[in-house]
Amino acid sequence: LVQPATVAQADDRAHERDLVRRCLAGDGAAQRDFVQRYTSLVWSLCRRAGLPDGEADDVCQEIFWKAFGALPQYRGESRLSTWLCTLTLRRIVDYRRSPARRHVPSGAPSDPGFPEPTDSPRPSPEREALDAERKERVHRALDGMDEPARSVLVAYYLGEVPVAEIARTLRLPEGTVKTHLHRGRQALRGKLKDLC
Amino acid sequence: MLSCDSFRDRLYDEDARAALLGRTPIPADLLAHRDACAACRQEWDEAGADLVGLPSLLAAPAPVAVVRKIRIGAAERLQPAPRLDWNEGLAWAAIGAAVCAPVAAWVPMLSPVVLGMVGASIAFGASATRRVLREALR
């Protein structure tokens, strides 16, 4: 019996393969769609994994240049977002190992002026305040986390990267990745528990 | 039957993620333990809520300048590889041959066939190079 969700996933994959094919054929609308769809995801992953603003911008662009070069090899085995997030995670790991890295990856997501979403429908002021408080607490909790716990949490929840892929990229046992996920989740829940 | 620790670890596997997000049925081992253990049932519910709720708390829109640069980069870098137009190439080769073959009248050492082939090759190569350069500079 074929599950409707499985059919929907197959449709998504087919749509993504088509998007990639059109991008590679030089279709400007498809390229804009691709960039619009995935830039915020990759950039958020860079920022939440602790890269400072300017570095996140540069690393985000590098990841896309690399992704554009690798697109002809994309066969649709994984979702496009997962594929991009795995590339991002690898690049972040390289960035952290690079001797040229100048900044300590902490505190960045709560820098003043950090952009917040503006394109979603406006909720009530109370809801908005509550969401802002939740975000603030999550960002603070992330700032307080050590590596690789923070990257593990961000890759799994924001990038939807599978545990096996995170483990391979960060060279950690899968059990360790799961432990980081469990502890990280508990830490975030602890920070949010008094908010309804 | 899974232990509570194994259940907790299994929550992060991809089949569990898909089930927590309602995309697929709950795997049998997880379902059996979840139905038998109240604490793990709560753990399951919390894991599902986190999968739904955390991405929006972690996400942020990329700066407009970054999106713009990447969009321009996409237009520059995602171009189909230049392909040789054989019709155009052969047409130029014929023109090259027609122009060069009569030169044999002034160069007695070389036959019109050889000079025609040389002319065809040069014209064909120039035509292909022009096409590749035009694509590269676009």
Compare all CA atoms of chain B with the CA of A141 and give the residue at the minimum distance.
B58
- For residue B63, give the DSSP letter: P
**Can you count the helices (H) and strands (E) in chain B?**
7, 0
Q: At what angle do helices A174-192 and B38-58 cross, to 10 degrees?
A: 80
Q: A119 exposed, middle or buried (CB, 10 Å; 0-12, 13-18, 19+)?
A: exposed
Report the residue count for chain A.
196
Which tokens hold the place of B133? Answer: 């350069």
User: What's the average model confidence in pLDDT over A169-194?
Assistant: 89
pTM for the model stands at 0.68
Interface predicted TM-score (ipTM) of this complex, two decimals: 0.72
pLDDT of the residue at A176? 94
Average per-residue pLDDT in chain B?
A: 84
The CB density around residue A65, as the number of other CB atoms within 10 Å, is 14
Cβ of A65 within 8 Å of Cβ of B73? The answer is: yes
pLDDT of the residue at A17? 87
Residue from A113, A131, A114 nearest A122 by CA: A131
Instruction: Using pLDDT thresholds of 50, 70 and 90, give the confidence band for residue A101.
Output: low
Residues A150 and B62: their CA atoms lie apart, in Å, by 20
Cβ of A138 within 8 Å of Cβ of B54? The answer is: yes
Compare all CA atoms of chain B with the CA of A137 and give the residue at the minimum distance.
B57
Instruction: Using pLDDT thresholds of 50, 70 and 90, give the confidence band for residue A107.
Output: very low
Alpha helices in chain A (DSSP H): 4-24, 28-48, 53-70, 80-97, 125-143, 149-157, 163-170, 174-192
pLDDT of the residue at A118? 43
- The alpha-carbon gap from B92 to the nearest alpha carbon of chain A, in Å, equals 27
Q: Which residue has the higher pLDDT, B116 or A105?
A: B116
Q: How much of chain B exceeds pLDDT 90, in percent?
A: 32
Cβ of B14 within 8 Å of Cβ of A163? The answer is: yes
Task: Check the CA dihedral B104-B108-B112-B114 and report its sign.
Answer: negative
> How far, CA to CA in Å, does B118 sit from each of B90, B98, B104, B111, B113?
14, 11, 12, 11, 9
Cβ of B61 within 8 Å of Cβ of A175? The answer is: no
Instruction: Using pLDDT thresholds of 50, 70 and 90, give the confidence band for residue A115.
Output: very low
Q: Which residue has 């190992």 as its token pair?
A: A97
Q: Given A8, A35, A115, which is nearest B71 (Cβ)?
A: A35
pLDDT of the residue at B104? 74
| Res. A127: pLDDT tops 80 | no
Cβ neighbours of B75 in A, within 8 Å:
28, 31
Which tokens hold the place of B43? Answer: 């753990």
Interface test with A, best of B8, B12, B20, B52 (most A CBs within 10 A): B12
User: What's the average model confidence in pLDDT over B10-21?
Assistant: 92
User: What's the average model confidence in pLDDT over A99-115?
Assistant: 43
User: What's the average model confidence in pLDDT over B15-42?
Assistant: 91
Q: How much of chain A exceeds pLDDT 70, in percent?
A: 81
Residues A33 and A17: their CA atoms lie apart, in Å, by 13
User: What's the average model confidence in pLDDT over A67-86?
Assistant: 86
pLDDT of the residue at A109? 38
pLDDT of the residue at A195? 64
Compare all CA atoms of chain B with the CA of A177 and give the residue at the minimum distance.
B12
* Chain A CB within 8 Å of residue B136 CB: no
> How far, CA to CA in Å, does B104 sit from each of A8, B97, B124?
70, 11, 20
| Res. A59: pLDDT tops 50 | yes
Lowest mean pLDDT among A83-87, A113-117, A129-133, B70-74: A113-117
Q: Given A23, A57, A163, which is nearest B13 (Cβ)?
A: A163
Cβ neighbours of A185 in B, within 8 Å:
46-47, 50
